[in-house]
Amino acid sequence: MLPFNRPYISGKEATYLAEAMESGRLEGDGPFTQRCQDWLRRWSGAEAVLLTHSCTAALELAALLLELKSGDEVIMPSYTFVSTANAFALRGAVPVFVDIRADTLNLDERVVDAAVSPRTRAIVAVHYAGVACEMDVLAQVAQRHGLMLIEDAAQGLLASYHGRPLGAIGQLGAISFHATKNVVSGEGGALLINDASLTERAEVIREKGTDRKRFLRGEVDKYTWQALGSSFLPSELTAAFLAAQLDVAETITAGRMRIWQRYHEELEPLERAGVLTRPSIPSGCAHNAHMYYICLGQGLIREQFIKALRELGIQAASHYEPLHNSPAGRRFGRSVGSLSVTEDLSGRIVRLPLWMGLQDADVEQVVGSVRMAVGKVGSVRAVR
């Protein structure tokens, strides 16, 4: 079975883990944590970067920085991972779900204005598959209504929008290093802070609500409880693993881009035949080859299609179920406008295997299997 995902190991991970263990400094905010934060700050240009134990934690930290009150609203796409909504619902806010664009599966910037209410506090832009939302438009909407613009850039490391790194455009951005991402630490994340006025409070929240960071910098003679917070720090072992990955992040991205482009070229005939649609990359968006997905044409039932691929030795996957139709989404959130694009495309998307080390022969096997699966489960003749 050709697996859907296989985390890349650079070879330095074991060395860095051994260094961390030998140092005896295993708790958070050690030398490897600082090394990772420095790398991310250089790449993004963010005012500050705080490593976290997950992207979920980074989003929850962002929600705490908003100082939300019960009934406040946060606009986001329904087509996203549950953490996007959970982070704000946990603070008593209402996720307000809007539709996505058919070309990128990103938040449809044209419908956001209509979703703003007197209770709206923030807009969350989710950069699906490492392809940027229309951030200029969203920034204008946010500025016009006095809202915070937060980027869920979980999939966005080393991707950009008109030259600006994803996660570094809104006031806050969250990055993921989960094992399914391009650059990994098993579990892990980071909060990018682009508004300097938020940095000190973010440090307090991240350190269980204390001013421990100021104490460690010698700015106070002791630290104490200052505000509500939690423990968002990863261990030095997690940071050491991540440091080894960041050392080769550009190499990983380049390797994935080559595989992505090969898929894109090989699947073009099937798109011309109307069997499927391929990803669309808007002008000015430099993506990072986080995933390669196809949207099946009418007449192809996704579950049967994925099963057919599995029988041919290919592990493929669907993706998110719309949050607005979920039990928790109906309980904690609300929808604005038609979410017809979300409901349509979420049932037709299929993600193909893409990981560093996938060979040309593997890509050819996947594409050939896609053709055969189309012929097996669809009413459209396979294109060869």
- The secondary structure of 343-371 as a DSSP string is HHHTTTEEEEP--TT--HHHHHHHHHHHH
Entry pTM: 0.96
Instruction: Place 383 in a pLDDT band, splitting at 50, 70 and 90.
Output: very low
- Token pair, residue 40, equals 């991310």
Query: In this predicted structure, what is the pLDDT of residue 107?
Result: 98
Instruction: Place 148 in a pLDDT band, splitting at 50, 70 and 90.
Output: very high
Return the H-helix or E-strand segment holding 352. Answer: strand 349-352
Query: In this predicted structure, what is the pLDDT of residue 377?
Result: 86
**Pairing state of beta strands 276-277 and 292-296?**
antiparallel
Collapsing DSSP to helix, strand or coil, 173 comes out as strand
Q: What is the mean pLDDT of the chain?
A: 96
Mean pLDDT over 376-382 rounds to 61
Query: In this predicted structure, what is the pLDDT of residue 380?
Result: 43
Beta-carbon contacts of residue 197 (< 8 Å; ≥ 6 apart): none
Q: Are 21 and 162 in contact, with CB atoms under 8 Å apart?
A: no
Residue 314 DSSP class: B
d(CA 62, CA 151): 10
Beta-carbon contacts of residue 120 (< 8 Å; ≥ 6 apart): 72, 73, 74, 75, 96, 145, 147
Percentage of the residues of the chain whose pLDDT score is greater than 70: 98
Instruction: Place 382 in a pLDDT band, splitting at 50, 70 and 90.
Output: very low
Q: Are 130 and 156 in contact, with CB atoms under 8 Å apart?
A: yes
d(CA 220, CA 30): 19
Query: In this predicted structure, what is the pLDDT of residue 381?
Result: 44
Q: Are 81 and 154 in contact, with CB atoms under 8 Å apart?
A: yes
**Is residue 40 pLDDT above 50, yes or no?**
yes
Query: In this predicted structure, what is the pLDDT of residue 69?
Result: 95
pLDDT tens digit sequence for 190-210: 999 999 999 999 999 999 999
**Is residue 164 pLDDT above 80, yes or no?**
yes
Mean pLDDT over 250-278 rounds to 97
Domains of the chain (ranges; CATH) run 13-246 (3.40.640.10), 249-377 (3.90.1150.10)
Only one residue has tokens 């898929």, namely 263
Collapsing DSSP to helix, strand or coil, 4 comes out as coil
Query: In this predicted structure, what is the pLDDT of residue 256?
Result: 98
